[in-house]
Amino acid sequence: MKVFEANISLLGADFLAKKLSNFSVLESANELLQFTTGIKSFFSYKSELIELKEKLSISLYSVKEPDREEYGDFQTNRLLANKITNRIHEQGINPEIIIEPTCGKGNFIVASLNNFSGIKQIIGIEIYKPYVWETKFSILDFFLKNPKCSKPTIEIFHYNVFDFDFKNFSNLVINNNLLIIGNPPWVTNSQLGSLNSNNLPKKSNFKNLNGLDAMTGKANFDIAEYITLSLFEAFQCINGHLALLIKNSVVKNIVFDQKAKQYRIGSIEKHCIDSKKEFNVSVESSLLFCKLNSSPEFECREYNFYNKEMSLCFGWVKNKFVSNTATYLHTQSIEGICPLEWRQGIKHDCSTVMELERTNGHYWNNLKENVVIEDELVFGLLKSSDLKNTVINETRKYTIVTQSKVGQETNYIKHQFPETYKYLYKHLSVFQSRKSSIYKGKPLFSIFGIGDYSFKLYKVAISGLYKTFHFTLVLPQKDKPVMLDDTCYFIGFENIEYAVYAIILLNSPQTEDFLRSITFPDAKRVFTKDILMRINLLKLALNCSKQYIEEQLKYINDKYSLNLDLKLWDNFIKELTPMKEKQMTLFGH
């Protein structure tokens, strides 16, 4: 049943209804409840006491829960909260102070009361008043069932966690053994942006990103990450531990940022949970567990929460961030900087108009319109889902390429390709409603991810979204280069031989092992420009045996009816060799 929109058990409701019937003075009611539960100021105002008595005396009602998306509201079930606190206790941890930074319905607080015998003080913070009540009711319930348990001082604050002064609080707990436990909100700033919500920290660019990164995906962050980092900051000199359920991406970001920020955390562990089972969501998440007030550590051991088995360790190996420190040690020989620049494909955020399909010699857009335009600006297009084969020479889709470099004026289309201009102009409103601020103040029909490199005839590409460690050779279509969309990354070549040599190297077991040791399979984008730039193609070419290259070349020739040889191999190596090294060889060093 519900009171103040908060669930309350029959035991709790019955206790309150009976005991409070004789109390009308706020202080006396609060004294009784502190005696029973340890909670200080159970009622903040007399009006709350009166209201609660009224609600309990009339029939108890149930209210439909409002939409709480902006609060990242995924309550931890009691069983899981209990298992987590129990696991912490098994490790010999018996905290005196508990902080639950966004306590929700209070399941971690009650689980802590269940599992830790030495708690002196509990602080819970929650923005949603019904949950504040539900937490208090659950604590009441706990002590009614366990009257002999010792009662810590408990404060449940109806407060915005971003306004809570943890630093000030930390000054009061200097000599105590602290446990920060909980499950901060699962919501990102960009989700909040689309919900028009301001459930955000004041300093939203807390990673100090530059203007362009702040405009693009890099500035997207989970508010759980902000909360976790604020807690590290506030409690860095306090003895204790932190145990928070957060998305795997947040754990990874924290360990990544650890190098620059040097938070005083150590014994960092990630215990993977089954989010589908526990929260019915498809986001990978884990319990981040670490020691506070420790000299900074830069590795994180990963475990399966349920069977306690350790799977791997990720983090920093010297100045390289890797997903598996053990396998990286065997694959690192090709780590470096790729001599050729990996590029991201075209971004236009306007697929309804800019992407075409061709049937019976006619182009059609996603609005099912027959598009009659000049051929010049139309190029074959490949998306992530197209990059399944090793060689592609035909595309299912096409795209209109309005610029040959970022920012180029697009007026020329009007004069040189009037039908194309007419078509684009007819759909001007679709272009104008593109949300991303990168299009603001740019020429009409602007695109991004375009440059000389886009027009190279031969490309070696990979999908950033898929977990397949497979590179594809993209050949020209009717003598025109094929474009890739912005979910893909590629390097371009002027001749097919170089492209084929590159694909042989990139699809080698050596590259796959290296990539597996530096990529995170649960990342939104497994492959990014930063990851791909770490493959030193020159070292790889020099490491690979000639016999392997010859075998692979024969296989590709046979399978795709090509007739390529290794005559250009030495030139390819020269092309990959940085200018400085070329000069050194020239002068006999």
Q: State the nearest-atom distance from the C-beta of 200 to ligand SAM, in Å.
A: 8
- CB burial readout 291-307, b (16+ within 10 A) else e: bbebeebbbbbbbebee
Contact 115, 86 (CB under 8 A): yes
The nearer residue to ligand SAM, 107 or 170, going by C-beta atoms, is 107
* Residue closest to ligand SAM, measured at CB: 104
CA neighbor of 385 nearest in space, from 468, 492, 456, 500? 468
CA neighbor of 496 nearest in space, from 391, 354, 402? 391
Q: State the nearest-atom distance from the C-beta of 160 to ligand SAM, in Å.
A: 5
The nearer residue to ligand SAM, 50 or 283, going by C-beta atoms, is 283
Locate 147 and state its tokens. 């009257």
| Chain centre distance of CA 442 | 29
SS (H, E, C) 476-534: CECCECCEEECCEEEEEECCHHHHHHHHHHHCCHHHHHHHHHHCCCCCCCCCCHHHHCC
Q: State the nearest-atom distance from the C-beta of 102 to ligand SAM, in Å.
A: 3
Q: State the nearest-atom distance from the C-beta of 429 to ligand SAM, in Å.
A: 36
The vertex-358 CA angle with 353 and 363, nearest 5°, equals 45
Tell the burial category of 442 from Cβ atoms under 10 Å away from its Cβ (0-12, 13-18, 19+): middle
The nearer residue to ligand SAM, 278 or 522, going by C-beta atoms, is 278
The nearer residue to ligand SAM, 68 or 525, going by C-beta atoms, is 68
The nearer residue to ligand SAM, 110 or 518, going by C-beta atoms, is 110
The nearer residue to ligand SAM, 79 or 237, going by C-beta atoms, is 79
Number of other residues whose CB lies within 10 A of the CB of residue 33: 25
CA distances from 67 to 64, 106, 476 (A): 9, 19, 50
Number of other residues whose CB lies within 10 A of the CB of residue 424: 24
Q: State the nearest-atom distance from the C-beta of 162 to ligand SAM, in Å.
A: 5
- By CB under 6 A, name the binding residues for ligand SAM: 71-76, 100, 102-105, 107-108, 125-128, 131, 160-162, 182-183, 185-186, 199
Contact 427, 472 (CB under 8 A): no
Q: State the nearest-atom distance from the C-beta of 144 to ligand SAM, in Å.
A: 21
Q: State the nearest-atom distance from the C-beta of 108 to ligand SAM, in Å.
A: 5
Q: Is the dihedral of CA 556, 557, 563, 564 positive or negative?
A: positive
The nearer residue to ligand SAM, 128 or 305, going by C-beta atoms, is 128
Q: What does the alpha-carbon distance between residue 140 and residue 154 come to, in Å, rounded to a whole number? A: 11
Locate 346 and state its tokens. 């075209």
Helix axes 248-261, 223-234, angle to 10 degrees: 40
Q: Is the dihedral of CA 303, 309, 312, 318 positive or negative?
A: positive
The nearer residue to ligand SAM, 26 or 187, going by C-beta atoms, is 187
The nearer residue to ligand SAM, 77 or 585, going by C-beta atoms, is 77
The nearer residue to ligand SAM, 278 or 374, going by C-beta atoms, is 278
Locate 101 and state its tokens. 């930074």
The three-class DSSP label of residue 222 is strand
The nearer residue to ligand SAM, 164 or 501, going by C-beta atoms, is 164
The neighbouring-strand residues paired with 355 are 399
The nearer residue to ligand SAM, 95 or 185, going by C-beta atoms, is 185
Q: For 312-318, which contacts have Cβ atoms below 8 Å and span 24 or more sequence positions?
A: 314/252, 314/255, 314/520, 315/255, 315/258, 315/268, 316/255, 316/258, 316/259
The nearer residue to ligand SAM, 278 or 299, going by C-beta atoms, is 278
Q: State the nearest-atom distance from the C-beta of 340 to ligand SAM, in Å.
A: 44
Number of other residues whose CB lies within 10 A of the CB of residue 197: 14
Number of other residues whose CB lies within 10 A of the CB of residue 529: 15
Tell the burial category of 127 from Cβ atoms under 10 Å away from its Cβ (0-12, 13-18, 19+): buried
Q: State the nearest-atom distance from the C-beta of 412 to ligand SAM, in Å.
A: 50
The nearer residue to ligand SAM, 20 or 180, going by C-beta atoms, is 180
The nearer residue to ligand SAM, 103 or 556, going by C-beta atoms, is 103
Q: State the nearest-atom distance from the C-beta of 36 to ligand SAM, in Å.
A: 23
Q: State the nearest-atom distance from the C-beta of 76 to ligand SAM, in Å.
A: 3
CA distances from 345 to 59, 262, 450, 561 (A): 62, 35, 7, 28
Q: State the nearest-atom distance from the C-beta of 7 to ligand SAM, in Å.
A: 13
Q: State the nearest-atom distance from the C-beta of 283 to ligand SAM, in Å.
A: 11
Number of alpha carbons in the 13 Å side-chain half-sphere of residue 320: 23
Q: State the nearest-atom distance from the C-beta of 184 to ligand SAM, in Å.
A: 6
Q: State the nearest-atom distance from the C-beta of 225 to ligand SAM, in Å.
A: 13
Number of other residues whose CB lies within 10 A of the CB of residue 366: 13
